[in-house]
Chain A
């Protein structure tokens, strides 16, 4: 029997009954989505993949942790699981300093443009890393993942107004930094 037609909540019920096929369907459906948020939080492909794997293996080992009475949506609950694993990992890791500037040993034509893009990416990443954890999370969930304010607020366990305040503060800080470092022309 195929599982692709089942919604997440039905799939998790099947998983709770020990269906490995349902678990595989769930992983296939959502691993990339949860990888994206993990990557935004741990800034590293290998770590992000490990965190997603760990979260799914925990789900397989203890599927009863998802309680349909308490949690409305599976993805909302699972975002929390992945985010908590990523935050724990970040606490264990030593903070990495970003290089002030990047130098290419042998510049070729066109490399200046590449350098510009790379520098911009590095700077934006650096600015986001400097934001308080909750502001980073709010920005990642709403801006990068495109979740509604309501869902993001539920994941973070705050009220919608508080989430909006986090987004506003995050964007305002970032805007100022981008203006200062990349010049007014960028924005």
Chain B
């Protein structure tokens, strides 16, 4: 199989200047054409120079931690403390979940205890303070002229 200069030129553009890496079905024909034609050898040399120019194209290497950064960005972010607390309590309630009548009884008892607490708190005479007595004591303290111990 032979390869004319036009075909060779096209293949040079498509597959590049390394004829040994051309597809198998055209490689031998390409090498043979190169062997017998100085014109094609000149074309090949020109292609090699052109590819060297293309290879000078500017390129910056990626950051060393690129992969690490991507992996850490894909990890789920830590949840805030508040939702975790809410979750904890809801799990707790779920754990000790009671049947509906029992839950109602517990709720009513808790409300009753709360009301009882308020009633006792506001009606206890021991807790009330005499304003008069306090004022007298304060005056005695402020105007005490006796010996200081």
Q: Contact partner of B62 among A49, A120, A171, CB < 8 A? A: A49
Report whether A122 and B58 are in contact in the complex, using a CB–CB cutoff of 8 Å.
Answer: yes
Within the complex, the shortest CB–CB distance from B75 to chain A, in Å, comes to 7
* CB of A56 closer than 8 Å to a CB of B: yes
Q: Once the chains bind, are A125 and B57 in contact (CB under 8 Å)?
A: yes
> By the criterion CB–CB under 8 Å, are B14 and A124 in contact?
no
What is the 8 Å Cβ interface bit string for chain A, positions 68-100, against chain B (1 contact, 0 not)? 000000000000000000000000000000000
Known interface pairs A35-B66, A52-B70, A187-B46; A120-B53 also in contact (CB < 8 Å): yes
Using CB atoms, name the residue of chain B closest to A23: B74
The CA-CA distance from A35 to B66 in the complex, in Å, is: 9
- CB A5 to nearest CB in B, in angstroms, measures 18
B interface, size bucket: 20 to 34
Proximity string of chain A (106-143) to chain B, C-beta cutoff 8 Å, 1 when within and 0 when not? 00000000000100111011001000000000000001
B57 lies within 8 A of A53 (CB): no
* A156 on the B face (CB < 8 A): no
Contacts of B10 in A (CB 8 A): 168
A167 located at the interface, meaning its Cβ lies under 8 Å from any Cβ of chain B in the complex: yes
Q: Which residues of B contact A186 (CB under 8 A)?
A: 49, 53
Per-residue interface assignment for chain A, residues 141 to 183, with 1 indicating a CB less than 8 Å from any chain B CB and 0 otherwise: 0011000010000000000000010011001101100100010
Evaluate contact between A48 and B62: CB separation under 8 angstroms. Answer: yes
- CB contacts (< 8 Å) of A27 on chain B: these are 67, 70-71, 74
CA–CA, A124 to B50, complex, Å? 11
Interface size on A, residues (CB 8 A): 39
> Does B102 make an interface contact (CB < 8 A)?
no
Nearest to B46 among chain A residues (CB) is A187
Residue on A with the closest CB to B50?
A187
Contact of B57 among A124, A167, A175, A182 (CB under 8 A): A124
**Interface residue A20 (Cβ < 8 Å from any Cβ of B):** yes
Which residue on chain B has the smallest CB distance to residue A174?
B54
Given contacts A27-B67, A168-B14, are A39 and B75 in contact (CB under 8 A)?
no
Contact flag A57-B74 (CB < 8 Å), given A31-B62, A49-B63, A167-B14: yes
